[in-house]
Amino acid sequence: MPYHAPVEQIRFILNSVVSFPEVSGTEKFTEASPDMVDAILTEAGRMTSEVLAPLNEAGDQHPARLENGVLRSSPGFNKGFQAIAEGGWIGLSADPEYGGAGLPQAINMSVADMMAGACLALQLNPLLTQGQIEALEHHASDELKALYLPKLISGEWNGTMNLTEPQAGSDVGALKSKAEPNGDGTYSITGQKIFITWGDSDVTENTCHAVLARLPDGVQGTKGISLFMVPKYLPDENGNPGEANSLKTVSLEHKMGIHGSPTCVMSYEGAKGWLIGKEHGGMAAMFTMMNAARLGVGVQGVGVAEAALQKATEYAAEREQFGPIIRHADVRRMLATSRAEVFAARAICLACATALDMADATGDADWAARAALLTPIAKTHGTDVGCRVADTAVQVHGGMGYIEETGASQYLRDVRITPIYEGTNGIQAMDLVGRKMMDGGTAAQALLDEIMDNARGNSKICPERAEALWSAAQNLSEATTKLVEMDMDDRFAGAMAYLSAFARVLGGHFHMKAAMAGGEDEQLLARIYIDRILPRNAADLAELEAGVADLNAVSDAALGLA
């Protein structure tokens, strides 16, 4: 079954489930009219289904490769990327001053969802470029913006994010890369970076690396780190790629999935770079890029889940074992719960994007707080659902799911990286219960109040499900009050459980809204979600209350260490 972009569901979520009509009603985004959004989603659906999706298997079977130091992309990727660039999809939310369309992030993330479902390995290229565009818009000098933004937005050049080193993964402050001033406003960058997504490319003219490094007077830890623009080819006087910079792609990582995406080991050997933002302010600039990418990665999980589920559903309808297996209760359970999970995760991601847009358009601190709260939830839950649904899709296929020729396993192999990207899901959960609760839980409680109000408002129409949703939200509210009183180690021990519980309550909330705005299909999916998935919150909240003591009491020997 070929991938079919879920245009109708995305349109329904935007119009009836999240607050996008409020976004299009603001002065900043007044051009995002219903007609324009419909046209964008329709064209994106056509492009992703017809142009990108056919490249997915080719990227898996014929990985990117490095030949004598030259990157060779998977068959058809050049044509696919050209369609992305020429369609203006990279700059959908970028500043119009530099060639972007200036449209809401909710629309950008809707398109990213479809791109990721069609071909995740290729979609990673524009995702990283979009993150770099945002970092430059917020932190770069006018000169850097004028030179790089038009090229990145047009797709002539692509952007990367260079954080990780062999000894410095999540502990970014342990990096060893150095930056030496050249005395002319440029810097010489020396060091090695690993896991650099699309760190080299033959689908663009130039690859622009955002590299974290430490200046000679930079203190140890993250406070001494600066961010630099280090292009593969140095721009000439006309802004075109000129002589090669002193950097090279050492090797490509051999990965379990996303084979079409070249994940590079990069070596910088006195490469020329330009400072992005302030000296020693690299983490602030990089976090702008990472926060944009975190939501994008959550959307990737949703997109791949959609594609995997489509394939499993088609297979179940065709596979005969005592009749079509789609009629068997257990298979139907897997398909129905997966469909309900995908809808909920997609709605959470688009609600997060909508909050970002409202904060951007209005400057309202409450919208900004909501976007900050939802970002780790969207990233973590979106990618967890991606893995869960892709795994279930293999199970629906039975033994054939484990055979590479069916293509079911590719989705599971591809999506498995997403819970690791941009800060592991455990780190996202720790951010939720730590930094995002520095307000004493105010933003979380405000959102839970809305959910309980929604449940009360529908109590006469759908009493059983409304009561279940209200009860789950109330229990989560009480747990949030207890959470902010815990010490940090106890919070961290239950962080993933708390995030999961919050995501499920959000999922129930959005399913309830969909049921009220939609038809019978939406009502039945809401019933599946609220009756079968939402009750798992009780176990999550019990784990949250367990704290850290029992984990610390387990000896290393009991964990299996000699």
Mean pLDDT of 495-500: 98
Total number of domains in the chain: 2
**Structural domain harbouring 177:** 155-281
153: Cβ contacts below 8 Å, ≥ 6 apart: 90, 91, 94, 98, 99, 100, 133
- State residue 1's pLDDT score: 57
Q: Which of 216, 250, 281 represents a domain boundary (last residue)?
A: 281
Report which secondary-structure segment, H or E, holds 527: helix 520-528
For 132-161, what is the mean pLDDT?
96
Question: What burial class does residue 99 get, using C-beta atoms within 10 Å of its C-beta: 0-12 exposed, 13-18 middle, 19+ buried?
Answer: middle
What pLDDT does 83 receive? 97
Whether residue 132 lies inside any domain: the answer is no
Q: Round to whole Å and give the CA distance between 190 and 196.
A: 16
Q: What is the pLDDT of residue 198?
A: 97
List the structure tokens of 280: 């020693």
Q: What is the pLDDT of residues 531-550, one digit of tens each?
A: 999 999 999 999 999 999 99
Question: How many whole angstroms separate alpha carbon 380 and alpha carbon 418?
Answer: 9
Q: What percent of the chain has pLDDT over 70?
A: 100
CATH assignment at residue 233: 2.40.110.20
Name the pairing type of β-strands 263-276 and 225-231.
Answer: antiparallel
Q: What is d(CA 9, CA 309) in angstroms, rounded to the nearest whole number?
A: 14
How high is the pLDDT of residue 144? Answer: 97
Q: Is residue 438 domain-resident?
A: yes
**How far is residue 78's CA from residue 73's CA, in Å, rounded to a whole number?**
7
**Average pLDDT value for residue range 320-340:** 96
- Domain assignment present for residue 187? The answer is yes
CATH number at residue 447: 1.20.120
Last residue in a domain, options 281, 297, 323: 281
| SS3 call for 68 | coil
Please give the C-alpha separations between residue 86 and each of 2, 78, 100, 218, in angstroms, as whole numbers: 24, 12, 12, 41
pLDDT, the chain, mean: 95
Residue 393 belongs to a domain: no
Domain end position, chosen among 257, 281, 305: 281
Neighbour-count burial of 378, counting CB atoms closer than 10 A to its CB (0-12 exposed, 13-18 middle, 19+ buried)? buried
In 58-108, the DSSP E strands lie at 65-67, 70-72
pLDDT band for position 362 (cuts 50, 70, 90):
very high
The catalytic residues are: 422
In a domain, 86, yes or no: no
Whether the Cβ atoms of residue 444 and residue 423 lie closer than 8 Å to each other: no
Is 292 part of any domain? no
Say what the pLDDT of residue 284 is. Answer: 86
Burial of 17 (0-12, 13-18, 19+ CB in 10 A): buried
* pTM for the structure as a whole: 0.96
Q: Quickly count helices (H) and strands (E) in the chain.
A: 19, 11
> pLDDT band for position 480 (50/70/90)?
very high
Q: Which of 163-177, 383-397, 438-452 has the lowest mean pLDDT?
A: 163-177
pLDDT reported for residue 291: 78
pLDDT score, position 514: 96
CB neighbours (10 Å) of residue 233?
16
Which one is predicted more confidently, 462 or 371?
371
pLDDT at 187: 97
Q: Which strand (E) or helix (H) includes residue 225?
A: strand 225-231
